[in-house]
Structure 1
C-alpha cells in the first residue's frame, strides 16, 4: 500500500549515549540521541536495543532530517518489557540504533503540487512531526486522534491552522470524537494525498472512508502499528 518515493538510506549500526529523555505525559516521552552522521528520510524508522539486552523494538523517527539530535517518540506500554526499560534510561546510558528502515515518506512527485493530509492516532504522529520539521513551507493538514487533550504531543510544533486534534474521551480537542468520525464529515480537494500512521483498525477504517470519498490506493500511503 505504500508508494515508493525516495530510496532507502544505506543501513548502518550506531552506538549512542542518551543525551535527554523528554517527558511529554506520564507514560510518553522523547528519547534523544546525538545524531552524528546518521542520515535518514523523514518517515523512516529505526530499531533500538539497549546494550546488554537481547530484545529490540522499532520506532518511527520523530526529529527532522537536519535536526541536531536523533529522536524517537515512545509510549510506555503497561506490563511491557522494552518501553519501561527505555523510560528508565539515564543520560549517558548506551543505546544501539539499527537502520534507518522503510519507505514511508512524502510522495516526491506530489510534494509541491498537492495538499498533504497526515492522519495519525497516538504516537503514530511521530513520522509526521519529522516531515513537518524537515520541510518548512509544506502544504499540510495534520489530523491527530487521541483519547485526551494531554496526548496532543508537542502540538505547538505545528501551524495552528494546519492541525486538528480529535479527542474521543474529553471535549478539549478541536473535534470531539475519533479520527474516523472527523474524516466522515470532512471535505478534501481533489489534489490531496493522504498518509496514515497508527493502529490497524484506524488505518483500515480510514482507508474505507477515503475510498468512499473517491480517493484510491494511489492517493494513500500507510504505516501500520499493530
Structure 2
C-alpha cells in the first residue's frame, strides 16, 4: 500500500491584493492594501513590487498605525518603468510588500509633549500624514512645497492654521514661491524638532537654512527621496 505523506503548503505572506486605487490628481494616486499582517510605526516605509515583475520601489506609508488599510502615495513618473505599471493596477491585483523599514518617526511620549515642524516636498508629505493621523493631538506645523495647489494631497485632513502650502507655479497656495523661500522668513521656538521629507535638493537647502537659524543637527530628522 502506498504511503501518502501530507506536506504543509506555505503561502507567501508578502503578497497582498490591491483593495483600491484612489486618484488624487491626474498624476498622483494612493494604493490601498489590506493591513492585517503589516504592523508598522508612523514614519516608516515599505518596499513595493508588482507580482511577476522583477523591480520594486520604496514608499513611505501614507496611512496611520490604526487605519484599517495600508496605504502608500505614488506619483507617476513620465516615461518611467515602474509607476505607470502601478497606476494600471486594479482591485484584486497582487503586489509584493516587504518591510516595514526605517526609523523616521517619533516615540508616542515625544509626540504628546514635543513641538514639531514637518517640511515636505511633493509626495514627501506621506509620512507626515501617517504621523498626524496616528497622533491627533500632536503639536505640529506642516510646510508643504508643490508646483500647483491641486497637489495639496488630502489637505482637508490638516488643521487650516497648521498647514502651509507653498506653490512654485501658481498663486493659489498660502505662499507663492518655493518652500525654502518661505522657510527663510520663519521664526521657530528653540525647542522645535524638524522632520524633512522629499527630494534631495529641498532637504539639503532646508537643512542649511535651519542650521543658519541656530538649530542643532540633532533636532533635524531627514528622509530623502531619490
Which TM-score applies when normalising by structure 2? 0.92
Aligned to 1:21: 21
Question: Which structure is richer in relative contact order (CA contacts within 8 A, separation 6 or more)?
Answer: 1
Larger radius of gyration: 2
* 2:153 paired with 1:153: yes
Aligned 8 A contact 1:13 1:99 in 2: no
**Per-residue CA distance 1:107-153 (angstroms, 9 max, x = gap):** 55643332110000000000000000000110000000000000000
Aligned to 2:209: 209
Q: Distance in 2 between matches of 1:114 and 1:48?
A: 32
> Alpha-carbon deviation of 1:169?
0.6
Aligned 8 A contact 2:143 2:163 in 1: yes
* 2:74 paired with 1:84: no
Which TM-score applies when normalising by structure 1? 0.92
Q: Distance in 1 between matches of 2:122 and 2:83?
A: 15
Moved over 6 A (4+): none
Aligned 8 A contact 2:119 2:195 in 1: yes
**Per-residue CA distance 1:185-220 (angstroms, 9 max, x = gap):** 011011200000000010000011001111011110
Aligned 8 A contact 2:167 2:173 in 1: yes
**Per-residue CA distance 1:24-79 (angstroms, 9 max, x = gap):** 00010000001113100000000011111010000000000010100000000101
**For residues 49-198 of structure 1, what are the structure 2 equivalents within 5 Å?**
49-106=49-106, 110-198=110-198
Aligned to 2:225: 225
> Alpha-carbon deviation of 1:173?
0.1
Any idea what SS the aligned residue of 1:111 has? helix
Q: Distance in 2 between matches of 1:114 and 1:65?
A: 19
Aligned to 2:8: none
Q: Distance in 2 between matches of 1:65 and 1:124?
A: 18
Any idea what SS the aligned residue of 2:113 has? coil
**For residues 3-42 of structure 1, what are the structure 2 equivalents within 5 Å?**
14-42=14-42
5+ residue gaps, structure 1, are 1-11
> Alpha-carbon deviation of 1:16?
0.9
Aligned to 2:5: none
Q: Distance in 2 between matches of 1:113 and 1:99?
A: 28
Q: Distance in 2 between matches of 1:129 and 1:204?
A: 22
Any idea what SS the aligned residue of 1:207 has? helix
Please give the root-mean-square deviation of Cα atoms over the aligned residues, in Å: 1.3
Any idea what SS the aligned residue of 2:112 has? coil
Any idea what SS the aligned residue of 2:42 has? coil
Q: Distance in 1 between matches of 2:123 and 2:43?
A: 13
